Every structure is written in structure tokens, then in C-alpha cells.
A and B are shown apart, each in its own frame.
Chain A
Amino acid sequence: MHIKRKGLFIIIISIATVISLILAGFFIVRAVGMKHVMDRTDVQLPGRVKYQDKLYEYNDHIITFLILGIDKGKETIEPYEKDDGGGGQADALFLAVMNTEEKTIEIISINRNAMTDISIYDKDGNYYATYNAQIALQHGYGDGKEMSCQYQLTAVQNLFYNIPIHGYAAVNTNAIPAINDTVGGVDVLVLEDLTAWDPTLVKDSQIHLMGESAYWYVKFRDSYIYDSINMRMTRQKQYLNNFIEAAKHAAKKNIFVVLDLYREISAQMTTDITPTEILYLTSLLPQYEFDETHFHTVAGETVMGEEFEEFYVDEAALLQMILDIFYIEAE
């Protein structure tokens, strides 16, 4: 009896020690991640801005990430050797804006055809010229990896009047099924008939997207339909909103789910955000408020160019959006 009790005691102590070590490890990793995220924001902040007789200050509680969906039609993101824009287009562009004080996330969706300054570089990275073109093209003029992302970040930053963007993650759109399934799938009310590509995507039906269905729902657009990008962006907005909800639930159940995801899609992703930072950011997620009211679209107008659609940003609306999200009115 005495020996039995002693054995039980040792087992309890051992389990407690293991749990303590795991918890300690988690908090250390999380703290490292937090420090790295905070280091990103340690840059020169924009000064005060006067707009329409009001004075604004940059909100220094904000951390902004550029999220890109890269369309290359390949399984993995590989370095690209040529300088003809073959590094893959940034088919989906989002800014994820975290306000660490108010604990909110704002998602800003940028039309891939937004006309802006694109810088052309040769294969050695030498600057060649700048011209006005669809923002999605910028990613192609790089190595398809870090260099492409850096160019794309600069182009988005230029469109957004040089506000700080603290990091990026570019994911091959082929990784959508894996990402979708890691959070246990995503519920949507199908907004348009996509049965030609996936028989389950019947308009107005409520379905639980899994695997390839998520890919078609998020990715598909009929380029023969004028302004089909706006229709797809509406689907992406709905999907992203529901995805964040599903991700919050998944993170609450098991915080390490994000590291599984990171490992699984790392071959299909280019990012300057480290696993420890991702772990820290995910740990914040359940406390953060997000619903459709936190989703924003850069306003503008689509016109038909010589060959392709061109989206002209409403500059006044964009400026107001930047002030609303990134600035606070000065006293």
C-alpha cells in the first residue's frame, strides 16, 4: 500500500513537471515571439497629418501585415530566374491591421488591378524603370520569393501613402485547401453558382467548405465576365470573415494548430514572420474582435484598358480610410 502510494505520487509529480515544462516553454516561446513582433514596430513613425482642417496622429498601437495570395499554378513557390514578370502575380492582396490597444483586427482588401507605380528590375535586381500598371504584376518582377515580396510590399506601401507595413506572408493559392482544413473547414452561404467547377457550390446553399471546394470558392473567377474581380472579392471577404471565426475556435482548442499549419504550408509560403511570432499572434487571436464591419475594400472604379481591366482607386476615399484605420484625431 505504501509503495503504491509512493508510485502514484511520483507519477503525479512527473506529470506536473512535464506540464509545467510545456507551459514554461510555451510562455518563453510566446515571449520571444512578442519581442520580435514589437521589434518590428520600432521604426520611425509617420508625423502628424492635416487633412480637411483636422489634425491626425499616427496610431502607434498598430501592427500591419501584408498578406498575398500568389497565383503560379505550381505546388510550391520556387525562385524565378527570368526578368519578364514570371515570378507569379499577387492575385489577392490584403492588409491585416492589428490594433494592440483596442484589440481589433481590420482587414483591407486591395483590388489586384489597382493601377499604381510598378518598378521593373532585371534578374540581378538592378532597377530598370517605373511604370503605371496593375499592382498584382509587381510580385512577378522578382525572384518569386523574398525579393518579389519586398517589391510587392513597397508597391502597396506606395499606394497607401507610405504608411509602415511591418511584415508579409505570401501564400501560393494552391495551399488554400490545407489552410482551410487545418482550422476544421469554413461555413459559407454560397454567393454565386460555381457548380461548373465544384458540384457542391450551389448558389444560396449553406455548406461547410473542405479541401478543394475551398480553393474553388476563394480562387475562381471567370475572366470573361467584366468586373468578375469584385464578385470574387465579395466571396473572399465572406470566406475570410468566416475563416477568422473558425481559426479563433481552433486556436482556443489547440494553440499549436498554427504551427502544424506553418509546417504544412511552408513550402508554399514566403514570409518574414517567424514561427515564434506566429505563435504569439495566434495566441492573441481569441481576444481580438473581428466581424464583417472590420472588413474594408479600397474603393475605386474598374475600366477596360487596352487589353486588361484597370482599377482606378478613389484617392479621397483611400486617404479617409487610411486616416480612419491608421491614425487618431489629435487633441
Chain B
Amino acid sequence: MALPNTQKRNIILFSLLLCILCSVTGCARKTSAISSESAKDSHIDFPLLQEENPDIFAWIYIPGTEIDYPILQNKQSDDFYASHDALGNESAAGSVYIELANLTSMCDFNTVLHGQAGEDSKGPFTDLYQFQDPLFFDEHETIYLYLDGNVLTYKIFAAYERDNTSLLRTYDFTYLSGCSQFLYDLYNTRDMNMQIRDGWDFVNPYHFLITLTAQESADSEKQFNVVAVLTQDVAGTINRVVEE
């Protein structure tokens, strides 16, 4: 019952093709640890991520949004990740990043997290603009920020538009006066679309904040900011001396 030679050849050829096809699709399916990581399971594998890009130092997750991304800091350029993805490849959408003026330990008064928004770029902070709506703002108040060995919980207490000037260059957050001025300006913003969470008018320079900032386009006159205050520091690593 031996198969004829031509049939044998066909089977070998078919198997060969199948092998090639599998290996090709296998390659395509092979994803980076960065793109397959998510904080939805409450765990971030930092050693694996940092193997792919050592600039990754944290992970941000806002339940109820698509914001579930690594946070990076480039050691040479403030805005390298405005135009590069988390693997360091050029990308119009960019990544979530902080500037060199902020510490990766998250111990600054205000750590400013940049991310692109806008429909064209499909940037990581496109969902941020949902916080303009009072109902969305009411229903979404928590941000989780994962560090290697720690999880920080922040409560969103403000969302507002301001002139598109750099927060880190406008306010000197290394001094109490700069922190106070930022909070004064925030609480005194006169805008019908200013969102301030009821009962959250007590934030002071001794707190630890993050500000998520985005613009609709590169030449926008305004930037949209979502500001959150640290409420839980599981490992107790967040600390700083406030300079008067």
C-alpha cells in the first residue's frame, strides 16, 4: 500500500509550506512584553519591560479608560517619547513620558506626565479628554501608578484647560512658593468647564501630585490637564523635604 512517488512528493511539499507558513505567522504574532503587558491583572513585570527598554520606570492605569501604558523618561531628551513608542521606534502617537526635571521615584510635588491626544495621532492620552465631561469626571476618580516594588494610588481631584505653557517652567515645584502658586491658580481658574471634585479643596504643597497633560494638536493654544493627588503608597517610598 505504499504511496506513489508523486503523492509522497506532494505531501512533503505541503508539509514544508505549512512549516514556512507557521514560522512566518509565528513571527508576526510574537509580541513584545511591552505591548502585551497590562495593569488590569494588578501586576507589572518590570524586569521584563526594562529588558526591552530601560527608560520604562512606571506604569499608569486609569480604570474605565484605555489608559494602561508604561511611563518613560529619556536620559538625553525631554521630548524624545513625544515621537517614539515605548520600544524607542519612531511613532506619531508617541508614549507617556516625563521630562528630566521630574524624578522617576515619583517623589516630586508635581510629576507632569505627557501624552499625545487628538484623533489623528491616536496618542495614549486621547481618552484624557473624557474627563471634560462632568458625569465622566464624577464616575472616574482613581489612577494606579505601578513602580518596581510599589503601587501608588491617586485620586483625580481636578480636570481643566489652561494656556499651553510648560507647567515645569511656569512653576518652580522645588520650592513651597511654586507649589502654592500652582494650587492657587488651579483653584481660582474661572472656567465653566473646570472640574473640581466636591470636598477636594484642601490639597496643599505637602501633598504629592501627578498632572496628566495633553494637547489636541501640536499648535494648540490650550492644554488639558487632569490632576490627581497621592492617597496610598503601599511600600512607603514616597517622601521629600519641602523647601520653604
Chain A positions within 8 Å of B, measured between CB atoms, are 46-50, 55, 58, 158-163, 322
Chain A residue at smallest Cβ distance from B188: A117
| A163/B192 in contact, CB under 8 A | yes
**A47→B193 contact, CB < 8 A:** yes
Stretch at the interface among B15-23, B89-97, B127-135, B234-242: B127-135
> From A56, which residue of chain B is reached at the shortest CB distance?
B192
> Counting CB contacts under 8 A, is B138 at the interface?
yes
Instruction: Tell me the B residues contacting A by CB distance below 8 Å.
Output: 132-135, 138, 190-194
Q: Using Cβ atoms and an 8 Å threshold, which residues of chain B touch A160?
A: 190
* CB of A98 to closest CB in B, whole Å: 19
Selected A-B contacts with CB under 8 Å, 21 pairs: A47-B132, A47-B133, A48-B133, A48-B134, A48-B135, A49-B192, A49-B193, A50-B134, A50-B135, A55-B134, A55-B135, A58-B192, A158-B190, A159-B190, A160-B190, A161-B190, A161-B191, A161-B192, A162-B190, A162-B191, A163-B192
Residues of B contacting A: mostly = loop
Contact B192 A46 (CB under 8 A): yes
B132 surroundings in chain A (CB, below 8 A): 47
How many Å lie between the Cα of A162 and that of B132 in the bound state? 15
Nearest A-chain residue to B185, judged by Cβ = A130
Tell me whether B134 and A49 are in contact (CB under 8 A).
yes
Q: Name the 7 nearest CB pairs between A and B, nearest first.
A: A50-B134, A162-B191, A161-B192, A161-B190, A47-B132, A47-B193, A49-B192
**Neighbouring A residues of B133 by C-beta, 8 Å:** 47-48
Q: Once bound together, how far apart are the Cα atoms of A55 and B192, in whole Å?
A: 12
A160 to B138 Cα, complex, angstroms: 24
Q: B132's closest neighbor in chain A, by CB?
A: A47
Residues of B within 8 A of A46 (CB): 192-193
Question: For the complex, what is the distance from the CA of A160 to the CA of B190, rounded to whole Å?
Answer: 8
**Residue on A with the closest CB to B129?**
A47
- Of the candidates B132, B191, B192, B193, the one having the most CB atoms from chain A within 10 angstroms of its own CB is B192
A202 CB to nearest chain B CB (Å) = 44
Q: How far is the CA of A161 from the CA of B133 in the complex (A)?
A: 16
> Shortest beta-carbon distance, B182 to chain A, in Å?
15
Bound-state Cα–Cα, A19 to B230, Å = 74
A170 vs B194: C-alpha distance in the bound complex, in angstroms? Answer: 30
Closest to B192 in A: A161
Distance in angstroms between the alpha carbons of A58 and B133 in the assembled complex: 13
Chain B residues whose CB sits within 8 angstroms of the CB of A161 once the complex forms? 190-192, 194
Q: Complex formed: what's the CA distance from A46 to B133 in Å?
A: 10
Residues of chain A within 8 A (CB-CB) of B191 are 161-162
